[in-house]
Amino acid sequence: MTRYIRHAAAFCALLLIALLVNATRVQVVQSDALDDNPANRRGAIVRFDQPRGDIVVDGRAVTGSKDTGEQLRYERTYKNGPLYAPVTGFASQVYGTTFLENAEDDILSGTDPMLAPLPLWNDITRAQNPGGKVVTTIKSAAQQAAYAGLGGKKGAVAAIEPSTGKILALVSTPSYDPERLSGTSKSVADSWAELNSSAAKPMLNRAIRQTYPPGSTFKVVTAAAALDAGVVTDLDAATRSPNPYTLPGTSTQLTNEVDGCTNASLRYAFQWSCNTVFAKLGVDTGLSDMAGTARNFGFNDSGLKIPSSVAASNFDTSMDKAQLALSAIGQYDTRATPLQMAMVSAAVANGGSVKSPYLVDRTTTRDGDVVDTTGTKSLRQAMNPATAMQLREMMTDVVEEGTGKNAAIPGATVGGKTGTAQHGIDNSGTPYAWFVSWAQAADAGEPAVAVAVVVEDASADRGDISGGGSAAPIAKAVMEAALKP
Amino acid sequence: MTGTRAGTASTVVPAVRVPRRRGTELALLVVAVLLSVYGYCDVGLARNGTVPPGAAGYGAGLGVLALLAHLAVRFRAPYADPLLLPIAVLLNGLGLVLIYRLDLETPSDEAAPTQLIWSTIGVGLFIAVVLVLRDHRVLQRYAYLSVVTALVLMIVPIFFPAVNGARIWIRIGGFSIQPGEFAKILLAVFFASYLAANRNALAYTGRTIWRFKRLQLPTGRVLGPIVAIWLLSVGVLVLERDLGTSLLFFGLFVILLYVATGRTGWIAVGLLLAALGAFAVGSLEPHVHSRVTDWLHPFASIDAGQGPNQLAQSLFAFAAGGMLGTGLGAGHSILIGFAAKSDFILATAGEELGLTGLCAIFLLYALLVERGYRAGLALRDSFGRLLAIGLASIVALQVFVIAGGVMGLIPLTGMAMPFLAQGGSSVVTNWIIVALLIRVSDSARAQPVGNADRADRADKEAR
């Protein structure tokens, strides 16, 4: 009988081995897949069972956490939620995350292995690290100036430090309080429904996710292309531009809002925003040079991340001459995000070099040990440095004695360009007022800030001037705030 | 272990008895109690940052139970295997910790106090068996009484309302017991007794129906009664939808038949019948069919948008544990919901103690089974041998069926993890099993070394 008992024992041992192998299969081999199963609530529970790390502006956290004692324990709170919503986005227990809350989620939620003192060991023990901090490049004074300037109007502001690409302000209005989406209560669902159905689209980040026809502010790009291509060699030489200008191949006549545009010099045309001159200039420069320069400024780039992705700005690459003429003055299919236009202005201020814009200066552990830093990266050379110098001159003229006088700051050099973009059927919509600019303090070696402002519901009656009227004062306030140390 | 050596050992050398090792048992019991108390404190620290108020009482209670059981063994079964009792105490203690831990998630439904009462009753019965039953061979006399009682116990629940699809409970007032649990022991006694009495007839008579005498069909007169009992019990269980226990009885029957007769053919026949039966029940019975479907496609309900089913939740829990587990009290196995403290308690162990802890638990069970087998090997009487193997196999099969079920290895069948799971009948039954194993191991180790070999030699000569 002994033999058979041993066989039976061997059978029991087989059962044990099967259990051990199966346990290894479930707990080690398949564990990641099971953990990631969307129906597995553990992810959400673990995710919210410790306070989320903070997003920091100017050394102060603009976010917080609240212990609810529920299964999904910690809820996100926001200080000055509407002001910083385009930067932080929301972190909802129901609707997920957006913007920095989304792009830096690994750091904020503590899952980034780099937060652990010993990442590999951490991987084995699955210990949870406290959420890290995301330190932004935002300058709170500039952000507040932009938000206050826009007031209740629909619009957006993007401000960049030209030499580095640091984003100093990123504002979109009307805004919303992301805290309304924290938690799991019914009010959260109600808020979600209300915010999504609102005609004002408060959750739309107009600064980086909305493209607008840039209108006359695009003339900066056209001027750069024409100067780089050698179509214009002397800023003060008369151009052979008729007024009105008949779009090539059509009978459509383009006119100006201002006088003196017939055969005007580039300097005059830029200063007073002559559509006829720039439309012809675009055609003379040609599609390939125009498109090339636009691309170098950042148009048609769908891969830009700050670290949230930025909507691609558009400049068509195949058009007839009439379309090219309109595109050269920022109409037809040309569209740009406010951030893109801030990059255009920053390129002029920075000798033609476009720096990659970024919003996160560094990420740290909760205790402040640096995990990662975002350095300055050059994207492209948008134009020759000499061309940039000429454009600086012309932009300065716009502010000193042209359409952009409202942006002038005593004691600082300010360059700017106004724009008004008609839109809607037969231009029936309220035009968008644009202003792009940069500012350099008197004692500084280089411009410290470049800004783009767009106001959707500007008063329309004064044409190009409305950019100067509605948008320029906002840009001025932002630049003043940015110039202060 | 040759016959020659065994022969000389019993004739020339005076009887050599194995050491009693009662001190070892006591030391191991202290370790088992301390481990359980540590786990209890750990839960409290993880959940509330403080040692639970009942820690001292819990430790003292478990300690007293362990001590009483130890004293009973020390005085009435001094040669018993020193590992059996500590393993049982540790598993029971760990089970109480896990149930207490899950109680924290369901404050309105506390199971730990009841489980503690049942554990006390279990240990009480353990002591009673050790004290009263002086020789396991006495049980052989009650073989037929056992089988009748077992069948009655199994049939009675049919007259009570079904609970969660299975008619295996008797509810009187707030008390519910699962009589089928006790039937396990009684059937093991019957099988062991019958096979011990008839093993020669089963093994050596009848017609050969497979070449090389692999399978020799015994005469109907010998085989008939036992097959009838077995069919009856399995039939009743199928009626009651108690799949796990029917699988257990089937396995128990096949193992004991094989050990008693040594016919490999029985295993083949057993596996064949099991496969056929499983296929038939699996495809015809809707309750069973759904469990087979769940086993094959554990995430089907998720894809269908109905959220994870219990098995999927259980797999999530195990996966969440990983190598080292989340730590006691830090997991979320309560998401499994219904039966988290009973059928699915292993998931909590897997999540909070990790693969490491789970392997340790499996090895504890394995050690318990191995000690039972060891006692079986050392015993000289066929009944004792078969009884020890039967009881140990019950534990082994039960652990395999339930652990395999909740981890997706085999279809899920409602069964209780021995000692670990919530369930009075189960805890009491397992304590009696350990008591009987203590008794047979005492007999096995008390006899002079070599006798078992001699018995085996006699066995071989008889063939």
Domain map of chain B by residue range? 22-445
Of A7, A23, A125, the CB nearest to B359: A23
CB proximity A9 to B under 8 Å: yes
* Chain A positions in Cβ-Cβ contact with residue B409 (cut-off 8 Å): 18-19, 22
Alpha helices in A155-265 (DSSP H): 186-197, 206-209, 219-229
How long, in residues, is chain A?
485
Of A19, A35, A42, the CB nearest to B362: A19
Q: In angstroms, rounded to a whole number, what is the distance separating the alpha carbons of residues A442 and B218?
A: 112
For residue B352, give every residue at least 6 positions away whose Cβ sits within 8 Å of its Cβ, in sequence order, or none: B101, B321, B325, B326, B327, B328, B329, B330, B331, B333
Q: Tell me which chain B residue has its CA closest to the CA of residue A72.
A: B332
Listed in order, strand segments (DSSP E) in A304-407 are 353-355, 360-364, 370-373, 378-381
CB proximity A1 to B under 8 Å: yes
CB proximity B359 to A under 8 Å: yes
- Which of A4, A6, A22, A24 to mutate: most B Cβ within 10 Å? A4
Supply B64's token pair.
């007293």
Q: Tell me which chain B residue has its CA closest to the CA of residue A36.
A: B316
- Which of B191, B352, B365, B389 to mutate: most A Cβ within 10 Å? B389
- Which of B47, B195, B252, B259 to mutate: most A Cβ within 10 Å? B259
For residue B355, give every residue at least 6 positions away whose Cβ sits within 8 Å of its Cβ, in sequence order, or none: A23, A24, A27, A28, B321, B322, B323, B324, B325
* Chain A positions in Cβ-Cβ contact with residue B321 (cut-off 8 Å): 27
pLDDT under 70: residue ranges of chain A: 122-126, 423-429, 458-465
In degrees, rounded to 5, the angle at the alpha carbon of residue A429 between the alpha carbons of residues A428 and A431 is 115
> According to the model, what pLDDT value does residue B8 have?
44
> A 78-117 residues with CB below 8 A of B?
none
Q: Tell me which chain A residue has its CA closest to the CA of residue B358.
A: A23
Whose CA is closest to A134, among A52, A67, A50?
A52
CA distances from A369 to A62, A127, A364 (A): 19, 19, 5
Q: In angstroms, rounded to a whole number, what is the distance separating the alpha carbons of residues B396 and B386?
A: 15
A316 conformational bin, left if phi > 0, alpha if psi -120 to 50, beta if neither: beta
Q: In angstroms, rounded to a whole number, what is the distance separating the alpha carbons of residues A34 and B321?
A: 11
Active-site amino acid positions of A: 216
The tally of CA atoms less than 13 A away on the side-chain side of residue B133 is 25
Q: In angstroms, rounded to a whole number, what is the distance separating the alpha carbons of residues B276 and B57?
A: 51
> According to the model, what pLDDT value does residue B3 have?
41
CA distances from A435 to A389, A399, B33 (A): 20, 11, 77
Which helix (H) or strand (E) covers residue B260, if one does? helix B243-261
Report CB contact under 8 Å: A37, B302: yes
pLDDT under 70: residue ranges of chain B: 1-17, 164-166, 172-175, 203-222, 226, 229-230, 233-234, 237, 448-463
Report CB contact under 8 Å: A28, B323: yes
Please state the separation of Cα A464 from the chain's center in Å.
Answer: 25
- Pairing state of beta strands A96-97 and A133-136? unpaired
CB proximity B94 to A under 8 Å: no
- CB A105, CB A331: distance < 8 Å: no
For residue B403, give every residue at least 6 positions away whose Cβ sits within 8 Å of its Cβ, in sequence order, or none: A19, A23, B346, B362, B409, B417
Q: Quick one: how many helices (H) and strands (E) in chain B?
A: 18, 4
Rg (CA), chain B: 23
Of B350, B407, B456, the CB nearest to A2: B456
* Chain B positions in Cβ-Cβ contact with residue A124 (cut-off 8 Å): 322-324
Q: Quick one: how many helices (H) and strands (E) in chain A?
A: 19, 18
CB proximity B302 to A under 8 Å: yes
Report CB contact under 8 Å: A23, B323: no
Q: How far does chain A reach from its first CA to its final CA, in angstroms?
A: 93
Domains of chain A: 215-360+375-483 (3.40.710.10)
Q: In angstroms, rounded to a whole number, what is the distance separating the alpha carbons of residues A170 and A87?
A: 7
> According to the model, what pLDDT value does residue A459 have?
56
DSSP output for A5-25: HHHHHHHHHHHHHHHHHHHHI
* 3-class secondary structure, A223: helix
Of A2, A19, A27, the CB nearest to B319: A27
- Which of B267, B318, B417 to mutate: most A Cβ within 10 Å? B318
- CB B85, CB B73: distance < 8 Å: yes
- Work out the minimum CA distance from A123 to partner chain B, whole angstroms: 10
Rg (CA), chain A: 28
* 3-class secondary structure, B402: helix
DSSP output for B347-362: HHHHHHHHHHHHHHHH
Supply A65's token pair.
């956490």
* 3-class secondary structure, A183: coil
Q: Tell me which chain B residue has its CA closest to the CA of residue A19.
A: B404
Q: In angstroms, rounded to a whole number, what is the distance separating the alpha carbons of residues B356 and A126?
A: 14
Report CB contact under 8 Å: B307, A23: no
